[in-house]
Amino acid sequence: MHLRLPALALLPALFIPPVLAAEGPDLRSDQCGIHTDYDVLVDSGGIWLRHGPQAPHEVVFHDGELSLDGRMVTVSTADAARLRQMEAGARQLMPAATALAHEVSGATFDALDAAFEAITGKSRNRQMRAMRGEMQDWIDDSLGRGYWEQEAFGDGFDAHIDQMAETMAASMTRSVLWQVFTGRAGAMERRADRLDAEVDRRMEARSQQLEARAMALCPLVQSLAAAHDALEVRYQGQPLRLLERGESVRVEHGSGSGLHVSAGPDEQPRGNAVAPSR
């Protein structure tokens, strides 16, 4: 293993698999072939889809009732049942996405820990632990509270991890230079060679496990999408399009899952989100 700083800085990206999420386990859920362009909030007041790119810009559904851009819409008995099914599916997906986000983050920092050990010979680093905790808190304060925001997740999630990785890379650069100047480069290279194959094996297995867990959610995603596609309600004479089928699927761990709803002009999302953080 020939260590070069640019390669080290890219290490995290190698271990962020593509998941739900919005595009998939990279905090995106591309694999299932379904996505939403809304921000999504799941709380005790229902499922909220907000900031849609086209009208309706705000959609809320709860217990079979539907609101579009602040106005209650009458739905059939069959549609009420479909909306309840969609709500139940979203409530299952959000905590699953949260758990996957934690695991993706954990896998990334495990890879950085291994790189740090290979370079410095130390298995623990205070700065790394602090950044790992910061990322876990960030996930808990968003997905863990039932909120999937397009801007924050998907590419935003990757960027957050990349920024932390660059911080660690700068720290490790100093260690590399110190060891080179003090004649310890050979020991560093031997550590790297010793850890290389084992780290690759472990991370490959973990990545496959994460992808399998993401794929296991596809039947639930597809069931939710089927209920959505069967909705009879119309908006401005057209079928309601909250989910789209395509190459990517973003249902809370993808680069975009969106749910925002309002049952009336004055109603706001409730603070007590129901999706557990783990």
Return the pLDDT at 179. 57
Query: How many structural domains is the chain composed of?
Result: 1
pTM over 0.75: no
User: For 231-240, what is the mean pLDDT?
Assistant: 94
pLDDT band at 176 (very low <50, low <70, confident <90, very high): low
pLDDT score of 47 more than 90: yes
- Note whether residue 138 is domain-resident: yes
- Note whether residue 266 is domain-resident: no
Token readout for 3 is: 């260590």
For 83-106, write each residue's pLDDT tens digit.
999 999 999 999 998 998 898 888
For 57-85, write each residue's pLDDT tens digit.
999 999 999 999 999 999 999 999 999 99
Return the pLDDT at 106. 86
pLDDT score of 215 more than 60: yes
- Note whether residue 261 is domain-resident: no
Token readout for 153 is: 């997740």
Return the pLDDT at 275. 42
- Note whether residue 272 is domain-resident: no
102 neighbors 142 (Cβ within 8 angstroms): no
- Note whether residue 185 is domain-resident: yes
- Note whether residue 86 is domain-resident: yes
DSSP the chain: ----HHHHHHHHHHT----BEETBTTT--GGGSEE--SEEEEETTEEEEES-SSSS-EEEEETTEEEETTEEE---HHHHHHHHHHHHHHHHHHHHHHHHHHHHHHHHHHHHHHHHHHHHS-S--HHHHHHHHHHHHHHHTTGGGTEE-TTTSTHHHHHHHHHHHHHHHHHHHHHHHHHHHTT-HHHHHHHHHHHHHHHHHHHHHHHHHHHHHHHHTHHHHHHHHHHHHT---EETTEE--SSEESS---SSSEE-------SSTT----S-B-S---
Q: Which domain holds residue 29?
A: 5-255
Return the pLDDT at 137. 92
- Note whether residue 270 is domain-resident: no
- Note whether residue 274 is domain-resident: no
